[in-house]
Amino acid sequence: MYFEKDASLHDIQDEVVAVVGYGIQGKAFAANLRDSGVTVVVGNRDDDYRAAAVADGFDTRPIAEAVAAASTVLLLIPDEAHQEVYGTQIAPGLRAGDLFVLAHGFSLRYRRIALPQDIDVALLAPKMFGKPIRQRYTEGSGVLAFLDVVEDRTGRALRRTLGLAKAVGFTRYGVLPVSLATETELDLFQEQFLTPLLLDAFRTAFEVLVEAGCDPVPALLDMHASGEMAEMMVEAATTGLYEVIEEQGSPTCRFGVQKYLGTLLGPEVRDKGAQILAGIRNGDFVAELSREAQAGYPSLADYEAAYKAAAMTRTHDAYRAILGRP
């Protein structure tokens, strides 16, 4: 891994960094870079995010103008916008020797954008969403990030990317070399397998309890809404999944966990995981995503309607009302 001692801000001291997209990650990247003394220009279309960048005091321009003014370009807009924005507003402004950095490998892994042959290209993928990236930086720490040098035309691509990682605060925690293809597959697999699995587990536990006569609000709190489970998972990130049970759980807790561990998920779940990973790797998922996008994402509207009508969601709304929170 790369840490603070392995990176230097001197490697980017003469760079102008264009942060393309002032959304969830762009806001955090831009603020951290500026606080580290890096010259930042924000590129964003004319919307509320652009207004927020202006209000936050950034030199804010249309994307094409920001790219033209920069020697390093950080692409931080959603994957589905990459192809159109890159082709029309970024590619024309890239010059020989520029550094082009993505925070997710999706568009390169699935060849949705074609890069020129005379620029440096790198992946710098934080393993955390925007708010903690900023919060931990201001607290003097950072978050984990993956790094991959895809093209090194200047001979300085790694040093430049590590300089960016240091400026954003990633080297305070650690930056792990991971290939762009692996980063993409891991990210998509987590979204498509592990996250639905966890959501279904919480929903099933809640429904079992309520159907057995438990009051929905305490059931919701004990399953996840109290934050206890979330705190255990945060602790497990450093201690270990099994170890946190040993450290935090009573003998009654540990006995209950081990009694049913390994018995609740059948082989069909593992088989489904393998199928999902295969679809990510062979491009089936991307083809399906493209069809969904062309149709205007109808399944997302169906999903939103379903979860808003779910008993667990309604119970959480009721609990927030008890607390006087919107």
Per-residue DSSP letter, 5? G
- Write down the pLDDT at residue 168: 98
pLDDT given for residue 106 in this prediction:
96
What is the pTM assigned to this prediction?
Answer: 0.91
Residue corresponding to tokens 């083809």: 287
Q: Mean pLDDT in each 10-residue stretch from start to end of the chain (326 residues)?
A: 98 97 96 98 97 98 98 95 96 98 96 95 95 96 98 98 98 98 97 96 96 96 92 91 89 93 94 98 95 92 92 94 86
The whole-number pLDDT of residue 248 equals 83
- The domains found in the chain, sorted by start residue, are 4-178 (3.40.50.720), 183-226+264-323 (no CATH)
Per-residue pLDDT at 325: 82
Residues making up the binding site = 187, 191
- Within the chain, where are the H helices? 24-35, 48-55, 63-69, 79-85, 106-109, 130-138, 157-168, 170-173, 180-189, 195-211, 216-220, 228-239, 241-248, 251-260, 267-282, 284-294, 298-309, 311-323
pLDDT at residue 249, as a whole number: 84
Residue list, annotated binding site for Mg(2+): 187, 191
Position 105 scores a pLDDT of 96
Q: Give the C-alpha distances (Å, rounded to integers) separating 248 from 98, 186, 253, 293.
A: 50, 29, 9, 45
**Residues identified as active-site:** 104
Contact 31, 136 (CB under 8 A): no
DSSP line for 105-117 = -HHHHTT-S---T
> Residue 326: what pLDDT?
74
